[in-house]
Amino acid sequence: MDSEKNDPEGTRRARGRPRGWEDNTAQNTVKALDRGMEVLEYLSRHPGMTLSALAGDLDQSPATVYRVLVTLEGRRLVEFDPAEQLWHIGSQAFVIGARFLRRTSLVERARPVLRRLMEETGETANLGMVRDASVLFVSQVETHENIRAFFPPGTLSPLHSSGIGKALLAEMAEERLARLLDRPLERFTPHTLAEPGALRVDLAAIRARGYSIDAEEKNLGMRCIAAAVFDASGEAVAGISVSGPSIRMGPDTETETGRAVMRAARELTEAVGGVTRRS
């Protein structure tokens, strides 16, 4: 029997949201929880902070922020280093993030692709997605070499100075791209493309050849080659890359590595039912 059909209108229970869930006014938010999430998110981006620095950056009283931190610490979402008197993101935050990754088919399907790419190129293989004006690295298979690139899941890197970031920028609609470039672009090394005009020239070259090259644009001595991964609508939703030291990933290996990365990106695109734009 369908009990919901037999319930009077006034006694039905919403299964996921109550009536009026579209209302985002203060009456439907928990201020203390919202403040706690603000502290947690800020600390995740700025690890190793003192109480006074964290309170100052968030424009909150130290007493308020301390109560929030102690509450989060009880859930292992943050951790306190008594020797350094610093607060850090906690282990439970990783556990929750890992649960999210497990339900993301893109990440699951990327693992064998990344492993094969690492074995083929001998360099660390990465998977990243756009988050605001940055690349969020969500998966990685490290090379066995002693000197190697390392971007643990959760690492953020500016779009304009990373291989994956530029591969995704090259596939963006003009309106969205213009918004992202209409802001100061930080220069990390002498090779960073921090002028929108120079970056646009590079993005055009990326579109033409199908893969991007980060030539020591974020870190001196490190290079990266990346290609975009597409969804069923042909939109670039992620990027795959290999990264490593310039002594092993010099210009003489770019074409061969670029082809390997493009093959991996096409393989993952097909695995998630996407439509690739590259032949």
- Judge whether 189 and 157 are in contact, CB under 8 Å: no
Q: Is residue 189 part of a domain?
A: yes
Within this chain, do residues 221 and 248 fall inside the same structural domain, yes or no?
yes
Own/partner long-range contacts of 206-211 (Cβ < 8 Å, ≥24 apart):
206/166, 206/167, 206/170, 207/170, 207/171, 209/258, 210/258, 210/262, 210/278, 211/167, 211/258, 211/261, 211/262
Instruction: Look up the CATH number of the domain holding residue 193.
Output: 3.30.450.40
Residue with the larger pLDDT of the pair 47 and 187: 187
pLDDT at residue 103, rounded to an integer: 56
Q: Is residue 12 part of a domain?
A: no
Within this chain, do residues 150 and 89 fall inside the same structural domain, yes or no?
no
Within this chain, do residues 136 and 74 fall inside the same structural domain, yes or no?
no
Within this chain, do residues 198 and 250 fall inside the same structural domain, yes or no?
yes
pLDDT of 9 higher than 60: no
pLDDT at residue 4, rounded to an integer: 43
pLDDT of 276 higher than 90: no
Q: What is the pLDDT of residues 114-132, one digit of tens each?
A: 999 999 999 999 999 998 8
Q: Is residue 2 part of a domain?
A: no
Within this chain, do residues 110 and 174 fall inside the same structural domain, yes or no?
yes
Mean pLDDT, rounded, of the chain: 86
Q: What is the pTM of this model?
A: 0.66
Q: Is residue 221 part of a domain?
A: yes
Q: Looking at the DSSP assignment, which residues form a beta bridge with residue 215?
A: 223
Q: Is residue 9 part of a domain?
A: no
> What band does 106 get if pLDDT is binned at 50, 70 and 90?
confident
Nearest to 127 by CA among 234, 270, 276, 227: 227
Of 55, 74, 94, the residue at which a domain comes to its end is 94
Nearest to 89 by CA among 158, 162, 153, 157: 153
Within this chain, do residues 90 and 137 fall inside the same structural domain, yes or no?
no
pLDDT at residue 93, rounded to an integer: 86
Within this chain, do residues 34 and 159 fall inside the same structural domain, yes or no?
no
Q: What is the pLDDT of residues 168-183, one digit of tens each?
A: 999 999 999 999 998 8
Within this chain, do residues 239 and 115 fall inside the same structural domain, yes or no?
yes
Only one residue has tokens 């779009």, namely: 159
The mean per-residue pLDDT over the stretch 76-87 comes to 93
pLDDT at residue 95, rounded to an integer: 79
Q: Is residue 276 part of a domain?
A: no
pLDDT at residue 144, rounded to an integer: 82
Of 71, 94, 117, the residue at which a domain comes to its end is 94
Within this chain, do residues 169 and 210 fall inside the same structural domain, yes or no?
yes
Within this chain, do residues 187 and 266 fall inside the same structural domain, yes or no?
yes
Residue with the larger pLDDT of the pair 67 and 27: 67
% of the chain beyond a pLDDT of 90: 65
Q: Is residue 27 part of a domain?
A: yes
The mean per-residue pLDDT over the stretch 194-209 comes to 95
Of 94, 126, 147, the residue at which a domain comes to its end is 94
Q: Which domain holds residue 80?
A: 22-94
> What band does 232 get if pLDDT is binned at 50, 70 and 90?
confident
Number of folded domains that form the chain: 2
pLDDT at residue 19, rounded to an integer: 57
Residue with the larger pLDDT of the pair 89 and 152: 89
Within this chain, do residues 61 and 128 fall inside the same structural domain, yes or no?
no
